[in-house]
Amino acid sequence: MRHITVGAAQLGPIARDESRPEVVARLLALMRDAADRGCDLVVFPELALTTFFPRWAIDNITDADHWYETEMPGPDTQPLFNEAALLGIGFCLGYAELSEDDAGVTHRRNIYLLVGKDGETIAKFNKVHIPGHEESESWRPFQHLERYYFEAGDDGFGVWRAFGGNIGMAICNDRRWPETYREMGLQGVEMVLIGYNTPLHYAPDPTQNALAGFHNHLVMQSGAYQNGTFVVGVAKGGIEEGVDSLAQTVIIAPSGQIIAQAITTGDELIVARCDLDFCKTYTDTLFDFEHYRMPEHYQRISNQRGVTPPEGDAE
Ligand code: ING
């Protein structure tokens, strides 16, 4: 039996002036609790080292550099890696990354990092679906300038062999798009790790506000069920710098059932012991892609609808 005992470490608000050491102390407390409760892996939210700074417009983007990490681990985050190795627990950490490529071009990315029980990095994921807007919009009660602060990832959604299973990652808005789960489902993912920061007020259409919690669980439960995978959705919730953000962290089984849910909007650890072979209950039956998915069916539809196959493809 292949089990992962996973901890979803929800965070409450991180204040604008909260230092990295102060935040890392909160993460370490959750990591130690997770280890005490037998976790193999503890999952932190999106942007878990700072407040959700895209809610503010900063004209000169270099004035925002302090919200980003230029090295991982760095002096302030090394204690997380040391503690992970000491306790023998892996972790997944969301943060903003500022880097420079070989051509001297600056890159600003919204990152999820998967770290093993030995404290060594296994994989890095760059958020694909960057929501919000590129320029400050004065009509909004608060900004959502992720498209100003981050560039979209173009590596898609990977799956890595870790903790005895097939692990995938996604960040926040990624969880709303079916492609996210299917791209990993086609790679045999067994557990998808997702961190999110989701304001309860959606300025472009406030009628959706009342459905924020429903939509949050709907997309992750659907993604889990339709791809026969566990999904771990971890919030940074509560009222952060005046913006009320969705909590409701969950661990979801391949059946789509919620098997653990946070009940507060603060720092809270929920744990579930996940039998990865349970995924086969769905991927060897109802969602046996090889047997039922008929990719030629989709190609036929595309052809009928005049979609021109790429050059050189058979008619
Ligand atoms: N946040 C949001 C999300 O997709 C958003 C964007 C906010 C969507 C409010 C809907 C309502 O959950 C991030 N960080 O992607």
Q: Is 127 a catalytic residue?
A: yes
Does residue 131 come out as left (phi exceeding 0), alpha (psi in the -120 to 50 range) or beta?
beta
The better pLDDT of the pair 309, 103 is held by 103
User: Looking at residue 295, what is its pLDDT?
Assistant: 80
Is the distance from CB of 156 to CB of 168 less than 8 angstroms?
no
| Residue 137 burial (10 A CB sphere; 0-12, 13-18, 19+) | middle
User: Looking at residue 308, what is its pLDDT?
Assistant: 64
Looking at the predicted structure, is the pLDDT value of residue 206 above 80? yes
Q: Which residues make beta-bridge pairs with 191?
A: 167, 230
Please name the residue whose Cα sits nearest to atom 11 of ligand 1.
202
Return the percentage of the chain with pLDDT > 90, whole number. Answer: 93
User: Looking at residue 213, what is its pLDDT?
Assistant: 98
> What mean pLDDT do residues 138-150 have?
98
DSSP of 33-56, one letter per residue? HHHHTT-SEEE--TTTTS--GGGS
| 199 CA from centroid of ligand 1 (Å) | 7
Pairing relationship of beta strands 191-196 and 165-171 according to DSSP bridges: parallel
Could you tell me if the CB of 216 is within 6 A of ligand 1?
Answer: no
Q: Is the peptide bond before 309 cis (omega within 30 degrees of 0)?
A: no
pLDDT tens per residue across span 10-60: 999 999 999 999 999 999 999 999 999 999 999 999 999 999 999 999 999
Q: How far, rounded to the nearest angstrom, does the alpha carbon of residue 90 sit from its chain's CA centroid?
A: 16
CA-215 nearest atom, ligand 1: 10
Residue 254's φ and ψ, nearest 5 degrees, are -60, -20
Could you tell me if the CB of 196 is within 6 A of ligand 1?
Answer: yes
Helix (H) or strand (E) holding 82: helix 78-87
Looking at the predicted structure, is the pLDDT value of residue 314 above 60? no
| pTM as predicted | 0.95
User: Looking at residue 309, what is its pLDDT?
Assistant: 59
Please name the residue whose Cα sits nearest to atom 5 of ligand 1.
198
pLDDT tens per residue across span 72-96: 999 999 999 999 999 999 999 999 9
Q: Is 124 a catalytic residue?
A: no
What distance in Å separates the CA atoms of residue 112 and residue 48, rounded to the nearest whole number?
A: 10
Could you tell me if the CB of 150 is within 6 A of ligand 1?
Answer: no
What mean pLDDT, rounded, does the chain reach?
96
Could you tell me if the CB of 213 is within 6 A of ligand 1?
Answer: no
Helix (H) or strand (E) holding 227: helix 212-227
Class in CATH terms, 3-284: alpha beta
pLDDT bracket for residue 212 (50, 70, 90): very high
Q: What single-letter DSSP state applies at residue 210?
A: G
Q: How many residues does the chain have?
A: 315
What distance in Å separates the CA atoms of residue 174 and residue 179, rounded to the nearest whole number?
A: 9
Could you tell me if the CB of 198 is within 6 A of ligand 1?
Answer: yes
Q: Is 280 a catalytic residue?
A: no
Which of 92, 127, 183, 240 is an active site residue? 127
Could you tell me if the CB of 202 is within 6 A of ligand 1?
Answer: yes
Which of 83, 92, 146, 172 is an active site residue? 172
CA-172 nearest atom, ligand 1: 15
